Amino acid sequence: MLIAPEITNSTSEERRAFIKAKYPCIADCDMCGLCKVFRGKNAEQAYDDYITGKRSFMDVSADYRRV
């Protein structure tokens, strides 16, 4: 799945599965770096607002883009 499911036509389980598939934890922080990108959070914590339907995927992603 390449495109994030829209909040209006998906369940929280589908959105959680998307995040898990898009940002898998490989349990090797030196090789991966996702925790650094998400400022010490795992992907599910970072995208909690998206998973729970409060904010869109793009809105949450914007929080973690480098300026």
pLDDT digits (tens, 9 = 90+) for 43-52: 999 999 999 9
Task: Report the C-alpha gap between 63 and 67 in whole angstroms.
Answer: 10
**Share above pLDDT 70 across residues of the chain, in percent, rounded to a whole number:** 94
Q: Where are the domains of the chain?
A: 29-67
Regarding predicted confidence, which is higher, 27 or 52?
52
- On the CB side of 2, CA atoms within 13 Å amount to 0
